Amino acid sequence: MKKVAIGCGVLAALGLIVLVIVLFAGGSYNRLVRLSQQTDSAWAQVQTDYQRRSDLIPNLVATVSGAADFEKSTLTQITEARASVGRVNFNSKGSPQDPAQLAAFEQAQSQLSSALSRLLVVVERYPDLKSSANFLTLQAQLEGTENRIAVSRRDFNEAVQKYDTAIKSFPTLLYAGALGFRDKPYFSAAPGAETAPKVQFDFNKAAPAPAPAKP
């Protein structure tokens, strides 16, 4: 009887250990799933904000193209940059897995940002256009969108940082790869990236007078 009791006790102890391991593994797996979904959600917001900017561009181009003698090359650059963004495709569902694909996406968006900045500089030469109600409305929407993009990129990087830290921490790193959890890439942080691009111009402010020439 004593041996039977001892055997039952050993089995109970082993069963308890197995139960603890299963509960721990299940909790760890669920945490990784939750963190992965958070990165996917943050990425979806990034795409939404970039799409919002892309949707503004046709109206912006249509508004400025009505100005007489407006630089057509600037409009062409914006149209081509917008098209290049649409050609960047991601093979995986959810947030990007391939750093090269994310870098290509980021480069295309950066080229579009540069083209938009050049457009706003060129508009300075057109007093009637820069005081147009339609243009001012679009400009305000563009400014708000750039702020949204800056925030969503930051939130995405924070979500990726939490996820990547989790899968590289012990003991999760021992089995995360086997369960299909891989590193996710970040948006690169260029100097000043934490500040949204300035796209608002004070058209009513007079330009500063030139400094007097020295004798």
> Which tokens in the block code for residue 39?
């990165």
Taking residue 150's Cβ as centre, other Cβ atoms within 10 Å add up to 16
What domains lie within the chain, and their CATH numbers?
Answer: 30-174 (1.20.1440.20)
In whole angstroms, give the CA distance from residue 158 to residue 163.
9
Contact 82, 57 (CB under 8 A): yes
In whole angstroms, give the CA distance from residue 15 to residue 58.
65
Is residue 113 pLDDT above 90, yes or no? yes
In whole angstroms, give the CA distance from residue 31 to residue 43.
18
Q: Roughly how many angstroms between the first and final C-alpha of the chain, as a whole number? A: 114
* Model pLDDT, residue 170: 87
pLDDT of 23-58, one tens digit each?
Answer: 455 558 888 999 999 999 999 999 999 999 999 999
Average pLDDT of every residue of the chain: 80
Taking residue 132's Cβ as centre, other Cβ atoms within 10 Å add up to 18
Which residues, other chains included, contact 60 with Cβ-Cβ below 8 Å and sequence gap of 6+? 78, 119, 135, 138, 142
In whole angstroms, give the CA distance from residue 133 to residue 205.
17
Decide which of 213 and 81 is more confident: 81
Name the pTM for this structure.
Answer: 0.76
SS (H, E, C) 37-51: HHHHHHHHHHHHHHH
Q: What is the percent of the chain with per-residue pLDDT over 90, rounded to a whole number?
A: 43
SS3 for 146? helix
Is residue 200 pLDDT above 50, yes or no? no
* Model pLDDT, residue 23: 47
Burial 175-191 (b: 16+ CB within 10 A, else e): ebeeeebeebbbbeeee
Closest CA to 163 of 49, 41, 74: 41
Decide which of 194 and 115 is more confident: 115
Taking residue 109's Cβ as centre, other Cβ atoms within 10 Å add up to 21
Integer angstrom CA distances of residue 57 from 9, 61, 142: 72, 6, 9
